[in-house]
Amino acid sequence: MSAPPEFREPEKYILDRPSAVRRIYHVLIGVCVLLGLADVADLIWHVYHKHGIYDVEYLPNFYGFYGLLGCIFLVLSAKQLRKVVMRDEDYYDNDVD
């Protein structure tokens, strides 16, 4: 192992600014909206010829909404799972009597 890490006041980077993080968030929302609109445009003008196997795939932004809701479900249910399966960090440390 290398020398133990030292603690010191870190330098300032762009990502240390809350405004920069907020901007990234807004850009992400913007890109998502565009991706969603691409599906609407495809429905009307067939801009990118979406092809799917199941009907549900032709719903505008099906993949986007599925991913969004899937992830929210994943995280919130995992959070509930913690109530059942989470223990102290040293839970198994004393498993010898």
Partner 1 sequence: MMWTELPPGLILLLGGVIAAVAPHHVRKGLMLVLPFVGFWQLIDVPNGDHAVVTLFGAEMVGSRIDSLSLVWGYIFYIAALVAGIYHLHVRDRMQDVAALTYMGSAIGAVFAGDLITLFIYWELTAVTSVFLIFANRTNASFRAGIRYLIVQIASGVLLLGGLIIHWRATGSVNFGNLGLDAPGAVLIFLGFGIKAAFPLLHNWLQDSYPQATVSGTVFLSSFTTKMAIYTLARGFPGAEELIWIGATMTAFPIFYAVIENDLRKVLAYSLNNQLGYMVVGVGIGTDLALNGAAAHAFTHILYKGLLFMSMGAVLYRVGTIKGSELGGLYKSMPWTTGFCIVGAASISAFPLFSGFISKSLIITAAAEEGYWFVWLILLFASAGVFHHSGIKIPYFAFFAWPHQAQKTCREAPLNMLVAMGIAAFFCIGVGIFPGYLYDILPYQTDFVPYTASHVVTQLQLLLFSALAFAWLMRTGLYPPELKSTVLDFDWIYRKALHRVWRGTVEWGSETSGALTGGMRGWVNAIIGFAGRLGRPDGLIGRTSTPGTGVLWLTAMLGLYLLVFAL
**Site residues, partner 1 (CB under 8 A):** 1-2, 4-11, 13, 15, 25, 28-29, 31-32, 35-36, 38-39, 48-54, 57, 61-72, 74-79, 81-82, 84-93, 95-97
Please check whether residue 48 is in contact with residue 38, taking contact to mean a CB–CB distance below 8 angstroms: yes
Please check whether residue 50 is in contact with residue 39, taking contact to mean a CB–CB distance below 8 angstroms: yes
Q: Judged by CB, which is closer to partner 1: 6, or 19?
A: 6
Quote the CA–CA distance of 35 and 31 in Å, as a whole number. Answer: 6
Measured CA angle at 18 (ends 17, 20), to 5 deg: 70
Q: Judged by CB, which is closer to partner 1: 45, or 54?
A: 54
Q: Judged by CB, which is closer to partner 1: 15, or 44?
A: 15
Give min distance, CB of 19 to partner 1, in A: 14
